[in-house]
C-alpha cells in the first residue's frame, strides 16, 4: 500500500487540511470509498470529541436492585426507578432528584416496617422522607402505614423537608399515619387519595412552603385518639392552591389556612 500527500491545501477551511489519498491494488470503486472515508476523517477538527450521553438511566426493583432504597442509593440525579408489583417493607430516604414509578397503586406498595429507625429534621418518624432540595416525582404506588391497629406516634407518610419538592400523582397514602403528607418544602399532589390519617391529611408549614392539591381526596381515620382532624392544613404562612378535591370525615374542617408559628 502506498500513501502520499496531495499538494493541494483547502484554504477555505478554518484550519488547513491536506487531502490524504490511499493507493492500493484493488477495484477502483473500493479504492474510491477508502479515499472518501479518509478524507472525511481528516476534515474533522481536532477539538471535536465524541459526546457521552447524559441521559438518565432506568433502575428496576427488584430485577436490578433487591430493595427500593438500594436503587435510590445507587441512582444518579435524574434517574428513574421502576418498582415492579409487590409489597416492599421499607423506610425510604431520598436526598437526590429522581423519579420513582410504581406499576399501579393497587399492586405496588411501600409499607412501613415495624421498626422505623430514622426521623426527619423535626424528629418525626416517616415512611418516605425527601430532603436536601431534591425534586422527587412519585407515581403509581401506595405508601402504607404498618397497620390500622398499630400506628407509631407522629408517623408521617411522606415528609418533605429542607426545600425539597414532591410531585405526587396517581398514588395512595393509607393505613394509619398521623400526617399523610407533611411539607416544609413544596408538594404538588394530583389524582391521589390520602386516607386513615389520625391528625392531618396534607399539612404545609412555613412561609417557604407551597402546597398544590387537585383532583385528590382526603378521608380521615375514624375513632382517632386525636379530636381535631383536618383534611388540608396550611400553617405558619404556607401558600397553597386547593381545587377539585374531595375532603371528608374530618372532625374539625376539610381545609384550613392560618398563621401560627409552631408545626
Q: pLDDT above 90 covers what percent of the chain?
A: 65
197 has a pLDDT exceeding 50: yes
41 has a pLDDT exceeding 50: no
pLDDT of residue 20: 35
Q: Which domains does the chain have, with CATH numbers?
A: 2-42 (no CATH), 58-257 (2.160.20.10)
- Using a cut of 0.85, tell me whether the model's pTM lies above it: no
Cis before 62 (ω within 30): yes
> pLDDT tens digit string along 75-126?
999 999 999 999 999 999 999 999 999 999 999 999 999 899 999 999 999 9
Mark out the alpha helices in the chain (DSSP H runs): 28-42, 68-74
Within 8 A by CB and 6+ apart from 142, the residues are: 102, 105, 106, 108, 109, 110, 171, 172, 173, 174
Nearest of 93, 97, 39, 87 to residue 62 by alpha carbon: 87
Cell 430493595 belongs to 67
Q: Lowest mean pLDDT of 108-112, 171-175, 213-217, 220-224, name the range.
A: 220-224
Amino acid at each position: 500500500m502506498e500513501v502520499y500527500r496531495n499538494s493541494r491545501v483547502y484554504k477555505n477551511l478554518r484550519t488547513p487540511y491536506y487531502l490524504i489519498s490511499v493507493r492500493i491494488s484493488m477495484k477502483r470503486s473500493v479504492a474510491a470509498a477508502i479515499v472518501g472515508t479518509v478524507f472525511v476523517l481528516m476534515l474533522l477538527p481536532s477539538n471535536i470529541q465524541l459526546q457521552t450521553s447524559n441521559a438518565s438511566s432506568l433502575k428496576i426493583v427488584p430485577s436490578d436492585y433487591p430493595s427500593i432504597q438500594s436503587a435510590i442509593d445507587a441512582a444518579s440525579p435524574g434517574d428513574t426507578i421502576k418498582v415492579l408489583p409487590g409489597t416492599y417493607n421499607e423506610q425510604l430516604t431520598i436526598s437526590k432528584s429522581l423519579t420513582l414509578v410504581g406499576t399501579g397503586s393497587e399492586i405496588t406498595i411501600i409499607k412501613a416496617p415495624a421498626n422505623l429507625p430514622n426521623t426527619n429534621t423535626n424528629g418525626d418518624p416517616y415512611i418516605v422522607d425527601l430532603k436536601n432540595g431534591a425534586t422527587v416525582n412519585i407515581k403509581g404506588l401506595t405508601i402504607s402505614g404498618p397497620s390500622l391497629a398499630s400506628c407509631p406516634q407522629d408517623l408521617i407518610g411522606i415528609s418533605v423537608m429542607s426545600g425539597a419538592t414532591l410531585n405526587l400523582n396517581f398514588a395512595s397514602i393509607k393505613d394509619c399515619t398521623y400526617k399523610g403528607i407533611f411539607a416544609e418544602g413544596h408538594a404538588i399532589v394530583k389524582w391521589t387519595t390520602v386516607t386513615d390519617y389520625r391528625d392531618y391529611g396534607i399539612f404545609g408549614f412555613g412561609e417557604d412552603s407551597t402546597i398544590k392539591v387537585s383532583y385528590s381526596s382526603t378521608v380521615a381515620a375514624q375513632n382517632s385518639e386525636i379530636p381535631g382532624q383536618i383534611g388540608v392544613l396550611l400553617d405558619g404562612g404556607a401558600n397553597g392552591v386547593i381545587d377539585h378535591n374531595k375532603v371528608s370525615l374530618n372532625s374539625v374542617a376539610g381545609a384550613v389556612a392560618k398563621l401560627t408559628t409552631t408545626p
